[in-house]
Structure 1
């Protein structure tokens, strides 16, 4: 039987690598300092594998086929966007199949990938938490960018099923669960039904799989242009409320918000907290430690939470 040794939730942002702070007092400095403290704590936990729950930002999944959940079971490749690692990543295949079988038995028709591409939404947090790309991983990609999204309640239920599946795995190893995404941030619409999404951009959201590198090259300048703005919207009050709910072991309160309220409070990018919801519910423990820094220059509220203490 596998043992779940803890959970880490961590925000990600392209600007953590594009606009790195020169000192702790600069925007993002506290986040990166505390992320390194988490890395050292995880090193002491000595997990044998890590389950990483994170989103894709139109580097692997497009509207030709847009699954709500995709589990990698054999091979994974980092896309290499925004300074994240490009190339092969180690997969804990036996654990991944245990997760898949358990989720299927619980009624989840999870999309399956023998060769999964993951972008910074999975890789950045994985690297920060583990200090590299050596720890075998099980990647679970959640659709948080491309409406319609899986409901918060469905993610909550999946978290329970994932935890049970991991604990029932015949693999006797120590498993860390990590989630990457959020917290509050506001992004342009990616919905082809939106009248504002037209022309080449709409076509690329649907057909970008044919040349994902070209799609990324065209999109990256638009992303870069969003950074560095000290007045970019971040809802720090809501971000703190979110962390407090997980600290008080009240994830159901987050699920009860529903899609519209979550978007009202946390923005279109805030839907990434679905990943945290899945991971914390799977671990079944409240946060024991958290850190938060609103970083409008990175367009995001940068939060970290762990179910274990961090020195």
Structure 2
């Protein structure tokens, strides 16, 4: 039987690697320093495996087939976007299969991958926290229609039960990667603003993933360095406070429109946090937050264990 040793939930951003802070006083400096502190705390926890819950940003999943949830069970490859790690990642295959079977028994038909590509939405937080074998759970947070926040909480509850009942004799950490508030262009092919080559690439990008990514990255890079980019620090702190209280109901009650109004379209990535906290079933006891408009994101971290 496995033991759940805690949750690390943290924001990610392409600009954490593209525009790394030169010190604590630089934009993102506090976030990176506190992420390093969390990494040291995780090392003391000594997990044997980690379940990483995070999104894909049109590097593996496209609108030809857009699953709400994908579990990797064998080969996992980092895409290498925005300076994140590329190539093979270590996989806790025994744990992955045990989770898949139990989550299926709980009524979730997860999509399954024997060869899963993950981008910075999974790799960045994983690399900041640990290097033990992982089980990746990719959640669709970018491509409407999205799984509801309530369904994500239910999946988290099933995931936590599955970890605790897994045929895996080890200590398991849960890492949730995504958010917090940030405003991004629409990714909905039904939106009249999504037209031409961009719409075609979102649907058929799998035909040449590298070409699509190469065309997209300059547009993303151009969004960085703007000290006036929109970030809702007040809402981000409200969100962190709700997780300190273990109150997922108030967050779910926002619905998609309420969430977007407060946290932008990029705020949908907080679904990873909901899954992670529901799985661990404990409130956050330590948080860190820095609004980083230059990275277009509110950069938050939360853990269910103390960080010194």
Q: TM-score, normalised by structure 2?
A: 0.99
Q: Give the Cα separation in 2 of the matches to 1:111 and 1:171.
A: 22
Q: CA deviation at 1:99?
A: 1.1
**Could you tell me which residue of structure 2 aligns to residue 173 of structure 1?**
170
1:292 aligns with 2:306: no
Aligned CA RMSD, in angstroms, stands at 0.6
For structure 2, the residue ranges without an aligned partner over 5 or more in a row are: none
CA distance in 1, matches of 2:153, 2:259: 14
Q: Deviations over 1:58-92 (max 9, x none)?
A: 00000000000000001100000111110011110
Look up the match of 2:150.
153
For the residues of structure 1 that align with 2:249 and 2:44, how far apart are their CA atoms? 31
Aligned pairs, number = 308
Q: Distance in 1 between matches of 2:49 and 2:82?
A: 25
In the TM superposition, 1:70-85 aligns within 5 A as 70-85=70-85
Q: Which runs of 5+ in 1 are unaligned?
A: none
| Secondary structure of 1:260 counterpart | helix
Among 213, 218, 242, the alignment partner of 2:215 is 218
CA contact (8 A) 1:6 1:307 kept: yes
- Following TM superposition, the consecutive aligned residue runs of length 4 or more in structure 1 with deviations greater than 6 angstroms are none
Q: CA deviation at 1:100?
A: 0.7
5 Å matches for 1:245-260? 245-260=242-257
Aligned match of 1:199: 196
- 1:89 is matched with which residue? 89
Q: CA deviation at 1:254?
A: 1.2
Q: How big is the shift at 1:255?
A: 1.5
What TM-score, normalized to structure 1?
A: 0.98
Q: Deviations over 1:257-304 (max 9, x none)?
A: 111111111000000000000001100111010000000000000000
**1:113 counterpart residue number:** 113
Q: State the shift of 1:256 in Å.
A: 1.8
Residue 23 of structure 1 deviates from its aligned partner by 1.4
Partner of 1:65: 65
Residue 238, structure 1, aligned to residue 224, structure 2: no
